[in-house]
Amino acid sequence: MGDDNEKTVTAFCQAIEGGDIEEILGFFADGAVYHNMPMEPAVGADAIRALLGMFVSGPGSVGFEVLAMASAGDVVFTERVDRLTFGGREVELPVAGVFEVRDGKITAWRDYFDMAAFTG
């Protein structure tokens, strides 16, 4: 199961770069939670669409470089460098991401990063 969950997360990270918000949302289970830990969580498809839409479907771009991945049961851990371009600004953000995957769908996604690196 770990390999299947890791494949789901890998495909999800690749879909982020494609910028198709509907394809990206297709990876989430109903009622999923996306939580950038320095901010409030986004719960459900509409909230996740609104949050991700600011980054993936606007005039900028997003790229996830996965440096390491490991899984245990339904949990997949990633160490990434997220590269974001928006508002004429480029940001390289070290991120530790934790995904919970059940039946091929992401039920929870938590990203841990330094907000000062994002806003600075």
Residue-wise pLDDT for 71-109, tens only, equals 999 999 999 999 988 777 788 999 999 999 999 999 999
Helix (H, G, I), strand (E, B) or coil at 27: coil
Contact indicator for 42, 50 with CB cutoff of 8 Å: yes
Domain residues for the domain of 70 are 2-119
CATH number for the domain spanning 110: value is 3.10.450.50
- What is d(CA 67, CA 69) in angstroms, rounded to the nearest whole number? 7
Contact indicator for 74, 87 with CB cutoff of 8 Å: no
Q: How many domains does the chain have?
A: 1
For the entire predicted model, the pTM comes to: 0.90
CA dihedral 113, 116, 50, 78 (to 10 degrees): -10
Q: Per-residue pLDDT tens for 13-62?
A: 999 988 889 999 999 999 999 999 988 999 999 999 998 887 776 666 78
Q: Which residues are catalytic?
A: 82, 111
φ, ψ dihedrals at 19, nearest 5°: 80, 10
